[in-house]
Amino acid sequence: MVEQVDVSARAAAIEYAIRDVVVPAIELENQGHEIIRLNIGDPLAYQGLPTPKHMISAYKKALDAQENGYAPSYGLPSLRRAIASAQVGNGWPCSEEDVYVTHGVTEALQVIFAAFLEIGDKVLAPGPHYPPYMAYPQMYGASTVEYRLDPDDGWRIDLDDIRSKMDDSVKLLVLINPNNPTGNVATSSEIDALIEIAQNFPKCTIISDEIYDGLDFTGNIVSVASRSKQVPVITLNGVSKVYFAPGWRIGYMAWHDPQRRLSAVRDGVERLLRSRLCASTPAQHGFLAGLNDGTGWLEGHRSVIRERLDYSLQRIAGIDGLECQSPGGAFYLFVRISDPILAKDDKKFVLDLLHKKHVLVVHGSGFSPEFGNGHFRMVCLPEIETLAESFDRMESFITESK
Ligand code: PLP
């Protein structure tokens, strides 16, 4: 018998619920079934939400001009400047040097975790949250602790729960605003309270993932960095959601460090960035056009999303066995399975729905074992007809399962 090579415990522990559920869906597709996929937050997978043409032209122009070489490791200077000026517009003094361009927010997270975390450290992240906040820290011997979002109050941040979980081992306090998967948008007073809590822990940096900022429907969104006078805040954003180009894999981190506490860790981040060379050069040109050429086009995309979200909320309200809070932003619904028997095992609910009705959503426990259980997340980006068909199938699945 051939002896198997062992996998590292690090890799074996990685889970990414959003794509893990695709494996059984592909099996069904291979058997000839058509699956309605409501699992991945990719606007390009659906009609009516294209990447803006001027960004595509800039990307193509860069290719034609042979801008195909390596870029500087921290990003094209023109792009870093444009990102910094967008942050200044958001209310804090960001300079070109404070910005690092990465292959998506996801790469920024890997770099940040690698530079900040030692064995025994903690990341305090919202429960529920986007899965990499749980998956990556353990690779460095650290762990993620979740703070509670209130399921009965629009998934508002439970500040008392944060207070009770803070200690000196919390190196990173994460806010995802608007939140994926719940859509909650934090108010400025909640953000101020969060900063005030972090202020008592000098080793704590706030990570503010603002990748859905342009898809805030409350009108209340504020940049976390703009509210902090002392606590370091690293803002994350990119082209994937608000610029409708997730396949370009371009994101950034912008460092606000008013008291210059992060010089050593920043040196570590720069070393890591140099060692992975650079982010895609032509894609950075595409993003630059997005930042420089105005966002008048965005209103159209926002209203398409709003319409699809509203339709989905209205359908869920009519299904006995499902409930949902209205989200403040982003394009997901985090749906509560209100039937107690079906809610017991949300992964089984999702897999049964997939096998019986060919609709793919993601189990809530994949976003938080503690706070997401008994829910599922669906992406509300498909056209109304596809959403209508999905809800018809969900409704009959629930009726037949009771
Ligand atoms: N952050 C959040 C909160 C997300 O929901 C996602 C994708 O769904 C990402 C980051 C991924 O960002 P990127 O495509 O820039 O890696």
- Interval 125-171: pLDDT, tens: 999 999 999 999 999 999 999 999 999 999 999 999 999 999 999 99
**Mean pLDDT of the region 333-359:** 94
Q: Are 205 and 223 part of one and the same domain?
A: yes
- Rounded distance, CA 361 to CA 340, Å? 19
Q: How far, in Å, are 103, 169, 338, 399 from residue 395 at the CA level?
A: 40, 46, 13, 6
Q: Are 390 and 308 part of one and the same domain?
A: yes
**Mean pLDDT of the region 359-384:** 95
Residue 327 lies in a domain: yes
- Rounded distance, CA 396 to CA 402, Å? 10
State the pLDDT at residue 196.
98
For 274-284, how does the pLDDT look when each residue is reduced to its tens digit (9 = 90+)?
999 999 999 99
Q: Are 251 and 284 part of one and the same domain?
A: yes
Decide whether any atom of ligand 1 lies within 6 Å of the 104 Cβ.
yes
Mean pLDDT of the chain: 96
Q: Are 155 and 178 part of one and the same domain?
A: yes
Instruction: Give first-to-last CA distance, the chain, whole Å.
Output: 48
211 Cα to the center of ligand 1, angstroms: 7
Evaluate if residue 16 carries a pLDDT over 80.
no
Q: Are 238 and 196 part of one and the same domain?
A: yes
Question: Where among 260, 292, 324 does a domain terminate?
Answer: 292
Helix spans in 209-360 (H): 263-275, 281-292, 298-317, 340-343, 346-357
For 211: left if phi > 0, alpha if psi spans -120 to 50, otherwise beta; the answer is alpha
Atom of ligand 1 nearest to the CA of 40: 8
131 Cα to the center of ligand 1, angstroms: 10
- Look up the CATH number of the domain holding residue 384: 3.90.1150.10
State the pLDDT at residue 234.
98
Decide whether any atom of ligand 1 lies within 6 Å of the 130 Cβ.
yes
State the pLDDT at residue 44.
94
**130: which 2 tokens?**
């986007």
Decide whether any atom of ligand 1 lies within 6 Å of the 176 Cβ.
yes
State the pLDDT at residue 22.
86
Q: Are 38 and 66 part of one and the same domain?
A: no
Q: Are 215 and 281 part of one and the same domain?
A: yes
Buried b / exposed e along 360-372 (16+ C-beta atoms within 10 A): bbbbbbbbbeebb
- Look up the CATH number of the domain holding residue 76: 3.40.640.10
State the pLDDT at residue 260.
96
Sign of CA dihedral 61, 64, 70, 72: negative
Closest residue by Cα to residue 390 from 315, 320, 340, 306: 315
The whole domain housing 394 covers: 9-50+297-401
Closest residue by Cα to residue 310 from 240, 387, 244, 241: 387
- Rounded distance, CA 218 to CA 327, Å? 9
Of the listed ranges 41-45, 200-204, 392-396, the one predicted with least confidence: 41-45
Q: How far, in Å, are 16, 103, 267 from residue 75 at the CA level?
A: 28, 10, 16
The Cα diameter of the chain in Å comes to 64
- Is 223 exposed, middle or buried, given 0-12, 13-18 or 19+ CB atoms closer than 10 A? buried
Nearest CA to ligand 1 atom 8: 41
Peptide bond into 178 cis (omega under 30): yes
- Count: domains in the chain: 2
Decide whether any atom of ligand 1 lies within 6 Å of the 237 Cβ.
no
Decide whether any atom of ligand 1 lies within 6 Å of the 238 Cβ.
yes
pLDDT tier at 15, thresholds 50, 70, 90: confident
Residue 329 lies in a domain: yes
**Mean pLDDT of the region 305-316:** 97
Q: Are 91 and 165 part of one and the same domain?
A: yes
**Mean pLDDT of the region 382-400:** 96
Q: Are 189 and 273 part of one and the same domain?
A: yes
Buried b / exposed e along 72-89 (16+ C-beta atoms within 10 A): bbbbbeebbbbbbbbbee
Q: Are 278 and 332 part of one and the same domain?
A: no
Sign of CA dihedral 336, 337, 339, 341: negative
State the pLDDT at residue 402.
78
Decide whether any atom of ligand 1 lies within 6 Å of the 381 Cβ.
no
Question: Where among 270, 292, 314 does a domain terminate?
Answer: 292
Question: Where among 237, 261, 292 does a domain terminate?
Answer: 292
Q: Are 164 and 250 part of one and the same domain?
A: yes
Residue 376 lies in a domain: yes
Decide whether any atom of ligand 1 lies within 6 Å of the 232 Cβ.
no
Q: How does strand 205-209 pair with strand 170-176?
A: parallel
Q: How does strand 251-256 pair with strand 170-176?
A: unpaired
145 Cα to the center of ligand 1, angstroms: 20
- Is 275 exposed, middle or buried, given 0-12, 13-18 or 19+ CB atoms closer than 10 A? exposed
Q: Are 236 and 385 part of one and the same domain?
A: no
Taking the CA atoms of residue 168, residue 173, residue 287 and residue 41 in that order, the dihedral angle to the nearest 10 degrees is: 140
Atom of ligand 1 nearest to the CA of 179: 3
